Amino acid sequence: MKKRVISIILITAVTVGLLYLAQRLLEPKYINDIIEGRLIEEYYDNAGGNDVIFVGDCELYENISPIKMWEDYGITSYIRGSSQQLIWQSYYLLEETLKYETPKVVVFNMLSLQYNEPQREAYNRLTLDGMRWSSSKWNAIKASMMEDESMLSYIFPLLRYHSRWSELTAEDFEYMFSTKKSFHQGYLMRVDVRPVTSTPTPVPKADYSFGENAWKYMDMITALCKEHGIKLVLVKAPSVNPYWYDEWETQAEDYAEKNGLDYYNFLEVQDEIGLDWNADTYDGGLHLNLSGAEKMSVYFGKILQEKYGLEDHRGDADIAPAWSEKVDFYNNMRDDQYRELEEYGYLKSYGGRKVD
């Protein structure tokens, strides 16, 4: 009897071990391709000590450089951004972040209000898989799941990624138990340039009002910040594409006014920021590149510091050394990106794509 119990335990242990190994192997690593997949998970090693937290989609994590804000103003900040981050995901990410730290200011980008329900499973994964387990993750998954998704496949990602067996690369073995650091306080750096060639023509919509579900989470974000005594700042990043409708602008302004919040539409101050759409975007106006993001950071950092009285930590001996390392990492990556650009013509190991 005893022998049998031991053998059953042993077999179970071996099975679980093998499943774990299989899962580590088969989960996507997002090392050189779709590196956005690692944005969320990188936070946990850098959590804490930030005066500003940005939550939102790529209009934040590609457009704002916390390192630049540090260099110019001594502001400590982190971007909890991810691809097509939906507003309920922003809410739960913020909720989770507040378990690690309490910033003075939270910045939220308004573009994601356009989505009232889950959009694509693939993007859900990019945001949710990287989260550590907590009630926030559970609730974020529940709010985000498409009809054909199951909670079980988030708990055991192997159930989701098992079919990658035929696409495994050396990368999957190399990074089975480790990962690479790629971001700068949640900022995804790109130095390449692809100018804006055409501005989008707005497609008329039947209904411009943001959905009920989206507003619900907007209210929840507002309430959460109030509860923690955090100043919530709403923004619309200066991306040309996708089109930001006047009707959306009105709704954003109205909401800010009604709730006594500050709202900045950076599209309206492009000239003051000094954005040059021939040089400051890497994908024709969807996202800013490094030079654009730095201009944006200089402009926005000033507002943050002046209006919300954020401290300059540059002289703080407890904080500055760590940040100087971050600055080095930032500068090294910038140099390396320029090198790759020169060598290959595109950003080979930074998620760039070869231009035919």
Partner 1 sequence: MLFTSYGFIAFLIAIFLLYYIIPKKYQWMLLLVGSYVFYAFSGIRFLLYIAVTTLTTWFSAVRITAIQKERNEYFDAHKGEMDRDGKKAYKAATKKKTRVWFLLCLLLNLGILAVIKYTDFVIANINSIFGTETAFMRFAVPLGISYYTFKSLGYLIDVNRGKYEAQKNPAKFALFVSFFPQVIQGPISRYDKLSETLFTQHSYDRIRVRQGLTRVLWGFCKKLVIADRLMPAVKALSGSPEEFQGAWVVMLILFYAIELYADFTGGIDIAIGIGQMLGVDMEENFRTPFFSKNINEYWTRWHITMGTWFKDYIFYPISVSGWMMKLSRSAREKMGKGVGKRIPVYLANIIVWFATGLWHGAAWNFIVWGMLNCVVTVASYEMEPLYKKFHGAARWSNTIGYDIFQMIRTFWLMGAIRILDVYRDVPVSFAQIGTIFTSGGWGEVFGEKFSRLGVSAPDLVIVCIGCAAMIIISILFRRSGEKVRPCEMLTARPVLLQAVLLVGLFLLVVIFGAYGVGYDANQFIYNQF
CB 198, min distance to partner 1, A: 16
Contact partners, residue 166, CB within 8 Å, separation at least 6 = none
Minimum distance of partner 1 from residue 323's CB (angstroms): 29
Among 117, 134, 167, 173, binds partner 1 (CB under 8 A): 167
**Can you tell me the distance from the alpha carbon of 94 to that of 53, in angstroms, rounded to the nearest whole number?**
8
| Cβ-based nearer residue to partner 1, 47 or 267 | 267
Q: Which is nearer to partner 1, 19 or 223 (CB)?
A: 19
| Choices 79-87, 226-234, 249-257, 299-307; region in contact with partner 1 by CB under 8 A | 79-87
Question: Can you tell me which of 6, 19, 279, 322 binds partner 1, judged by CB under 8 A?
Answer: 19
Would you say 15 or 250 has its CB closer to partner 1? 15
Instruction: Report, in Å, the least distance between residue 83 CB and partner 1.
Output: 6
Binding partner 1 (rule: CB under 8 A), the pick from 1, 2, 45, 166 is 166
Three-state secondary structure string covering the chain: CHHHHHHHHHHHHHHHHHHHHHHHHHCCCCCCCCHHHHCCHHHHHCCCCCCEEEEECHHHHCCCCHHHHHHHHCCCEEEEECCCCCHHHHHHHHHHHHHHCCCCEEEEEHHHHHCCCCCCHHHHHHHHCCCCCCHHHHHHHHHHCCCCCCHHHHHCCHHHHHHHHHHCCHHHHHCCCCCCCCCECCECCCCCCCCCCCCCCCCCCCCCCCCHHHHHHHHHHHHHHHHCCCEEEEEECCCCCCCCCHHHHHHHHHHHHHCCCEEEEHHHHHHHHCCCCCCCECCCCCCECHHHHHHHHHHHHHHHHHHHCCCCCCCCCCCHHHHHHHHHHHHHHHHHHHHHHHHHCCCCCCCCCCCC
Binder to partner 1 among 65, 77, 84, 222 (CB under 8 A)? Answer: 84
Q: Does 153 bind partner 1 (CB under 8 A)?
A: yes
Stretch that binds partner 1, among 95-103, 157-165, 244-252, 295-303 (CB under 8 A): 157-165
Choose between 163 and 178: whose C-beta lies nearer to partner 1. 163
Among positions 43, 161, 255, 266, the unique one binding partner 1 when judged by CB under 8 A: 161
Is there a contact between 238 and 285 (Cβ–Cβ < 8 Å)?
no
Assess 102 for contact with partner 1 (CB under 8 A): no
For partner 1, the closer CB: 188 or 341: 188
81 closest CA partner among 42, 118, 120: 42
| Cβ 121 to partner 1 shortest distance, Å | 5
Provide the sign of the torsion angle of the four alpha carbons 131, 134, 139, 142, taken in this order.
Answer: positive
> Contact letters (x/-) for partner 1, 133-152, by CB under 8 A?
---------------xxx-x
Report the nearest approach of partner 1 to the CB of residue 136 (Å): 21
* Residue 61 vs 323, nearer CB to partner 1: 61
Residue 183 binds partner 1, judged by CB under 8 A:
no
* CA atoms of 196 and 258, how far apart (whole Å): 35
Q: In the window 204-243, what residues touch partner 1 (CB under 8 A)?
A: 242
* Residue 81: partners with Cβ closer than 8 Å, 6 or more residues away: 39, 54, 55, 56, 57, 58, 60, 61, 186
Interaction pattern, residues 286-325, with partner 1; x per rule: CB under 8 A: x---------------------------------------
Q: Using the rule CB under 8 A, is 129 a contact of partner 1? A: no
Q: Select from 160, 184, 295, 313 the one that contacts partner 1 (CB under 8 A).
A: 160
Question: Is 7 one of the binding residues for partner 1 (CB under 8 A)?
Answer: yes
Q: Which residues bind partner 1 (CB under 8 A)?
A: 4, 7, 11, 14-15, 18-19, 22, 26, 28, 33-34, 36-37, 57-59, 83-85, 111, 120-123, 126, 148-150, 152-153, 158-167, 242, 286
